[in-house]
Amino acid sequence: MHLSILVVDDEAILREDLKAFLQGKGHRVRAAADGRKALVLLEEEEAALVITDLRMPGLDGLELLERVRTDHPDTQVMVLTAYASVETAIEALRQGAADYLLKPLEYEELQLRVERLATLREVERENQLLKRQLHLREPDRHIVARSTVMQEVLATIDTVATTDGTVLILGPSGTGKELVARAIHQGSPRRDGRFVAVNLAAVPETLLESELFGHRKGSFTGAIQNKEGLMTAARGGTLFLDEISEVPLHLQVKLLRAIEEREVMPVGAVEPQPLDIRLIAATNRNLEEMVAQGQFRQDLYYRLNVVEICLPPLCEREEDIPLLVEHFIAKHSRDMKKPVRAASQDVLRLFRRHRWPGNVRELENAVERAMIFCDGDTLLPRHLSGQLVTRSEEEGLPDSLRDAVRLFERRHVLRQVELAGGDKALAAQRLEVSLSSLYRKLEE
């Protein structure tokens, strides 16, 4: 695990030896002769770890520690001290130092300490990221499908997941683009890394650059401390940029450069940071049309569209609806602690006839709403939204007036029998027909 390290010591030989040793271990290392120069370097570029001597002229190690803890709270500090000053090192630990090491240095021991701090830093970063991504809880995120068109999508996911290529996922809202991105991540060599999802449409344009690329303290009004961007937070894992079409043109240039050069430049920084991520983007808009209209850069479009996955709307995968309904019932039964086990055939028929403009997301909402009102173990039409039932019936009516009337009559009779709990005498009374007429209509 490689870190950005700043070595601070007024002894030139020790300073350069430390720098050379740590660089030999793969770390990015800068050096400063005193505390004030160290603070200048930290303002130019954040460091993950500062290794500083305690006794230095001017700004000493304890004063530097205090400034780092205040101005650069994400930076860890390791102090170096002679054996005679071990009490000062202990005081440094009380003030927030992450570790200390006695001089003369044992370089292998130093490497072990640095590795330990790197691991602790990674755990802390993971916790911070989880707090920022609470909306990404993991409730049954596997893809549910049996339709031919979705089997083709799943085959593409299996093929592309093993590579590190950039993927562009297209499809209407609510079709499950993030699920596809997660499936690619889980099937990739980066599965043990982070999956960071960003809905670009939900981030104000004025904050988008800082959120993606990070910023340095003082780079703009309100930047009171350094902040890591989500692109670098996803290091070693996958970054999912949803609604990529919402990135303004002036940031598309910076995003393209980050992808091509594999490095990112935080706002206000003078040195780029290396970028080790797998990028997946998604949109519900036609990017080719946006390119033609000058709203999206052509070079960025081609850079994102290395592999394209198109998700169909739910109305084009009708055979998946019963499977999805079963999946959502099982999911929400656990959440609601209700004994709902299935949906009636009438409910499934209504669901198949509905056009689902909101796609899978709308279907899940309809199932969840029905389960709230369900008082048994089976979802019935009376548990559904009246508006959904009406639209489904209207969408399923034939063109012929006679056939439409007969179909409506059939549905109405069956619905009244169902609402009467199978009591045909009660249903006939509600329909204002004789019991024999009702039996005849049921036979028809």
pLDDT value at residue 140:
41
Give pLDDT, residue 222: 78
Residue 191 has pLDDT above 80, yes or no: yes
**Three-class DSSP category at 12:** helix
415 CB burial (10 A radius; 0-12, 13-18, 19+): middle
Cis peptide leading into residue 104 (ω within 30°): yes
Question: Which residue's structure tokens are 């949803």?
Answer: 242
| Domains along the chain with CATH numbers | 4-129 (3.40.50.2300), 136-312 (3.40.50.300), 316-443 (1.10.8.60)
Q: Is the pLDDT of residue 296 over 80?
A: yes
Q: What is the pLDDT of residue 126?
A: 59
pLDDT at 231: 92
What was the pLDDT predicted at 393?
57
pLDDT above 90 for 122: no
Confidence of residue 356 (pLDDT cuts 50, 70, 90): very high
Mean pLDDT calculated for residue range 143-153: 90
198-202, 283-287, 391-395, 432-436: lowest mean pLDDT where?
391-395
What would the mean pLDDT of 253-277 be, rounded to a whole number? 91
Please say if the pLDDT value at position 395 is more than 90. Answer: no
Environment class of 173 (CB within 10 Å of its CB; exposed 0-12, middle 13-18, buried 19+): middle
Average pLDDT of every residue of the chain: 87
Higher pLDDT, 320 or 86: 320
pLDDT over 90 percentage in the chain: 51
Question: How much is the pLDDT for 404?
Answer: 64
CA distances from 355 to 317, 359, 393, 429, 443 (A): 11, 8, 11, 34, 30
The mean pLDDT of 218-235, rounded to a whole number, is 85
Contacts of 287 (CB under 8 A, 6+ apart): 168, 170, 244, 245, 296, 301, 305
Specify the pLDDT at position 137.
Answer: 40
Structure-block tokens of residue 387 = 């508006």
Which residues, in sequence order, are CB contacts of 258 under 8 Å at separation 6+? Answer: 213, 231, 264, 265, 275
- pLDDT score recorded for residue 131: 46
* Own/partner pairs, 136-140, CB within 8 angstroms, 24+ separation: 136/195, 136/197, 139/331, 139/335, 140/327, 140/331
**What number is the average pLDDT over the span 159-186?**
95
For 194, other C-beta atoms within 10 Å of its C-beta total 20
Residues 405-425: tens digit of each pLDDT: 776 787 788 778 877 777 888
Q: What is the pLDDT of residue 400?
A: 67
- Helices then strands, counting H and E runs in the chain, come out as 19, 16
Q: pLDDT above 70 covers what percent of the chain? A: 91
Q: How far apart are CA 133 and CA 126, in angstroms?
A: 10
**Residues 378-398, mean pLDDT to the nearest whole number:** 71
Local confidence band at 83 (pLDDT 50, 70, 90 cut-offs): low
Distance CA 373, CA 310 (A): 35
Q: State the pLDDT at residue 423.
A: 85
* Confidence band of 133 (pLDDT split at 50, 70, 90): very low
pLDDT at 139: 39
Biggest distance spanned by C-alpha atoms of the chain: 106
Which helix (H) or strand (E) segment holds residue 227: the answer is strand 227-228
- pLDDT level of residue 252 (50, 70, 90 thresholds): very high
DSSP assignment letter at 105? P
pLDDT at 39: 92
pLDDT reading at 346 higher than 60: yes
pLDDT at position 355 over 60: yes
At 221 the pLDDT is 79
DSSP string, 23-69: HHTT-EEEEESSHHHHHHHHHHS--SEEEEES--SSS-HHHHHHHHH
pLDDT band at 134 (very low <50, low <70, confident <90, very high): very low
Question: Which of the pair, 304 or 106, is modelled with greater confidence?
Answer: 304
Full-model pTM: 0.62
DSSP 220: S
CA angle at 279 for the pair 276 and 283, rounded to the nearest 5°: 160
Write down the pLDDT at residue 19. 93
Alpha-carbon distances of 121 from 47, 115, 126, 300, rounded to whole Å: 12, 10, 9, 34
* Residue 294 predicted with pLDDT over 80: yes
